[in-house]
Chain A
Amino acid sequence: MTLDVKEPRTDGAAAQSPGSRKAGPRKPQRGSRPGGSSIDAQRKKLLVPFVGPAFVLYTVLFIVPALGAVWISLHKWAGSGPMKFVGLDNYGRIFRDQLFLLSFGNTLLLLFVVGTAIFVLAFALTLVLRDMAGKKIARNVIFFPHLINALVFGVLAGFIFNPGGMVNSLLAPLGVTDPPKWLAQDNIFPLIMVTLVCTTTGYFTTILMAGVDRIPPYYYEDCALAGASAFQRLRYVILPLTWDVFGTCAVLWTISSVKIFEIVWVFGGSSGAGVPPTQSWTAAVYTYVNAFSGQSTPAYGAATASAVLSLALISVLVVLLRRAMRRDAVEF
């Protein structure tokens, strides 16, 4: 579960200009210099007042609940009353639960299918944008959806894909008299996937562009002198030099895709009792419904077991990604 030191920085810089992505030196030997000046000694005394509050808040409100989740997942518990220790029973139970398998499968679909689509599109966009006129405007516009709550897209989709809605009225003149039922329970999830691709690609394009913009132009000139084709330039210059940015993006998407909740929750205006149709559930929705929907006795054990499995999925994938993406960083 060790993320790269640079990763969150990219996120921050993504909102900024590409040129700003020059991170500081990796592990600067700061502070503790041989001979230790008095300011270093003084600084060290600040440990408790400086780090203390952040440490306490983070531990109490984040790490303790995370450990608590593992603990609860080993119990049968309805939220109140006694907790009964059942060991790994909850995990066995959710794996026999059709609903959980469906939800987890959907999460995997988001992670891999939507992820692949986003990456292919984002990379293509990056290549188009690289030396396009007006690239700043285009980039700023396609980044903006990242700042909007996904709820908004879910609600809008409900309006656009209504039986009498805009898509059908667009299709009618084209001779489509019998358009598919967009918001039928089986069709919602594919629609969610498409919506996510549309709204997330811009964000990753921005990050990738920050990486591509760092490549100094003399590499391209070298390519031209050596007579490299566009494909060769892509293969031997652009890809190797942006490889670490790709790794960062993959990790970011892994983490954020497993959390996807709100767009599913309201997609298409949500049906009936406020719980979306089971065909479109993700692991996060499964956790929430099992604990808080108020429809049946809350099953905190099963709900947290599902959440802990999501965490395990992230951990495994991040470790694998880091291993797969590990190469000698190209210094330039």
Chain B
Amino acid sequence: MSEYKLQGSMTATRRRGRRGVSPALRGERSVLRGIGVALLWLVVAISIAALVWMVAQAFRDTRDILDDPWHVPSSLDFGNFVRAWTVGDFAVATWNSLMTTVVSSVLTVAIAAPCSYYLSRVDNRLTRGLSLYFILGLGIPAQVILIPLFVMLNKVYLTDSIIGLNLVYIGVSMPFTVFLLTAFFRSLPLEMEEAAALDGTTAFGTFWRITLPLAKGGILTAFILQVISHWNETLLALTLLQSTEKYTLPVALISFVQQQTYSGADWGGLFAGLVIVVLPMLIIYVWLGRRLTEGLTLGMGK
């Protein structure tokens, strides 16, 4: 409702503003603006069309796709998915990706949350130093740690292993998650914790029973952001996994693409693979996008 009011007052402002502007400028601006708006909607339309098109192609035969890529499928043919699922090893890869994503994201948040809580509530030289130490990792690109990680994990037999990959994802996600959650915990009101402390709750009890429930929104946000980044992570997985039965989806997709240089293009299967990679993200975005917003504004709005 306040949104409407805001927009209303803004349009009013604009009208008034226009009157004050010289006529020449006024004309130019509205034309430019009109073009901009039209272009923007064009981009939006193309984006949606591209997504729909991609999903549609996944239900068509490779020969049909190549003959006429502009068509929509005449019938729902799951052949591509079946082929990608069985021949392209996407079944195993999807399972691996799902496991890795869920396990590493849950653990990342579970490990980062207490740390962030501590860093946000205790303010001394040590915690300030630690916060800085965690920020440092945000600027380090993955290719820097690629080779040493491979060497290290190889020594302890954790290359080509889903467990190893999970560990790496947790470690690599620490800076961002700690950071996001520290900022979030800082924004939560202290009064409830103080009240709980007066009632004799232990420090851990306050964290567990007061702060965590209050921070649900922020923690959900952090979790979803990790899910998205772990689901799409490619470089580390490509380096650390070697055998087909360990591949995650992006790695399986790359190997599927590369097989085609030898076996001829199977665009139908490839489109099915792309849909398997993209669709979960779309579902999360459509389903949780708004809930996330609400969760965050509830926590941050104060």
Which of B44, B174, B180, B228 touches A147 (beta carbons < 8 Å)? B228
Is there a chain A Cβ closer than 8 Å to B213's Cβ?
no
Known contacts: A57-B167, A142-B43. The answer to whether A51 contacts B119 by CB under 8 A is yes
CB distance from A220 to the nearest CB of B (A): 5
Which residues of A (203-221) have their CB < 8 Å from a CB of B?
A: 217, 220-221
A51 in contact with B281 (CB, 8 Å): no
B79 proximity list for chain A (CB < 8 A): none
B175 in contact with A58 (CB, 8 Å): yes
**Cα separation A12 to B123 with both chains bound (whole Å):** 24
CB distance from A249 to the nearest CB of B (A): 14
Is there a chain A Cβ closer than 8 Å to B243's Cβ?
no
Is there a chain A Cβ closer than 8 Å to B206's Cβ?
yes
**Cα separation A23 to B142 with both chains bound (whole Å):** 28
A31 in contact with B122 (CB, 8 Å): yes
B281 in contact with A147 (CB, 8 Å): yes
Is there a chain B Cβ closer than 8 Å to A68's Cβ?
yes
Which of A7, A269, A308 touches B261 (beta carbons < 8 Å)? A269
Is there a chain B Cβ closer than 8 Å to A329's Cβ?
no
Is there a chain A Cβ closer than 8 Å to B86's Cβ?
no
Which of B20, B135, B168, B253 touches A2 (beta carbons < 8 Å)? B135
A68 in contact with B203 (CB, 8 Å): no
**Cα separation A233 to B118 with both chains bound (whole Å):** 43
Which residues of A (7-57) have their CB < 8 Å from a CB of B?
A: 7-9, 11-13, 15-17, 19-25, 27-32, 37-40, 42-47, 49-51, 53-55, 57
CB distance from B110 to the nearest CB of A (A): 9
A269 proximity list for chain B (CB < 8 A): 257, 260-261, 265
Is there a chain B Cβ closer than 8 Å to A174's Cβ?
no
A303 proximity list for chain B (CB < 8 A): 147
A140 in contact with B293 (CB, 8 Å): no
Is there a chain B Cβ closer than 8 Å to A223's Cβ?
yes
* Contact size range, B: 35 or more
Name the residue on A nearest B222 (C-beta).
Answer: A12
Name the residue on A nearest B181 (C-beta).
Answer: A12
A61 in contact with B21 (CB, 8 Å): no
Give the interface centre of A60, A68, A159, A270 by most chain B CB atoms within 10 Å.
A159
Name the residue on A nearest B256 (C-beta).
Answer: A155
Is there a chain B Cβ closer than 8 Å to A6's Cβ?
yes
Q: Which of A88-96, A121-129, A177-185 contacts B (4 or more CB under 8 A)?
A: A121-129
Known contacts: A68-B148, A155-B253, A261-B235. The answer to whether A230 contacts B296 by CB under 8 A is no
Name the residue on B nearest A213 (C-beta).
Answer: B6
Contact with B along A297-313 (1 / 0, CB 8 A): 00010011011101100
Name the residue on A nearest B239 (C-beta).
Answer: A292
Which of B21, B141, B184 touches A255 (beta carbons < 8 Å)? B141
Which of B69, B112, B118, B168 touches A47 (beta carbons < 8 Å)? B118
Known contacts: A24-B187, A54-B178. The answer to whether A287 contacts B114 by CB under 8 A is no
Which residues of B (254-280) have their CB < 8 Å from a CB of A?
A: 254, 257-258, 260-261, 265, 267, 270, 274, 277-278
Q: Which of A112-120, A130-138, A186-194, A239-247 contacts B (4 or more CB under 8 A)?
A: A130-138
CB distance from B74 to the nearest CB of A (A): 19
Which of B41, B47, B204, B261 touches A144 (beta carbons < 8 Å)? B47
**Cα separation A62 to B108 with both chains bound (whole Å):** 14
Is there a chain A Cβ closer than 8 Å to B75's Cβ?
no
**Cα separation A134 to B184 with both chains bound (whole Å):** 30
Is there a chain B Cβ closer than 8 Å to A151's Cβ?
yes
A151 in contact with B124 (CB, 8 Å): no
Contact with A along B3-28 (1 / 0, CB 8 A): 00011011101101100111001000
B137 in contact with A62 (CB, 8 Å): yes
A314 in contact with B296 (CB, 8 Å): no
27 A-B residue contacts at CB 8 Å?
A12-B180, A16-B221, A17-B293, A19-B297, A30-B190, A38-B197, A46-B207, A49-B114, A51-B119, A54-B178, A55-B130, A58-B178, A62-B175, A66-B144, A68-B148, A138-B41, A140-B289, A156-B50, A217-B6, A233-B17, A261-B142, A262-B250, A262-B254, A271-B261, A283-B143, A311-B141, A314-B141
Interface residues of A (CB under 8 A from B): 1-3, 5-9, 11-13, 15-17, 19-25, 27-32, 37-40, 42-47, 49-51, 53-55, 57-58, 60-66, 68-69, 71-72, 79, 124-125, 127-129, 131-132, 137-138, 140-142, 144-145, 147-152, 155-156, 159, 164-166, 169, 217, 220-221, 223-225, 227-230, 233, 255, 258-259, 261-262, 265-266, 269-272, 274, 283-284, 287-288, 291-292, 300, 303-304, 306-308, 310-311, 314-315, 318
Given A229-B21, A262-B250, A292-B150, 6 more pairs with CB closer than 8 A: A5-B183, A30-B186, A31-B121, A142-B44, A304-B148, A311-B141
Interface residues of B (CB under 8 A from A): 6-7, 9-11, 13-14, 16-17, 20-22, 25, 29, 33, 36-37, 40-41, 43-44, 47-48, 50-51, 54, 66, 69-70, 111-112, 114-115, 117-124, 126, 130, 132-152, 167-168, 170-172, 174-176, 178-180, 183-184, 186-187, 190, 193-194, 197, 202-204, 206-207, 221-222, 224-225, 228, 231-232, 234-235, 238-239, 250, 253-254, 257-258, 260-261, 265, 267, 270, 274, 277-278, 281-282, 284-285, 289, 292-293, 296-297, 300-301
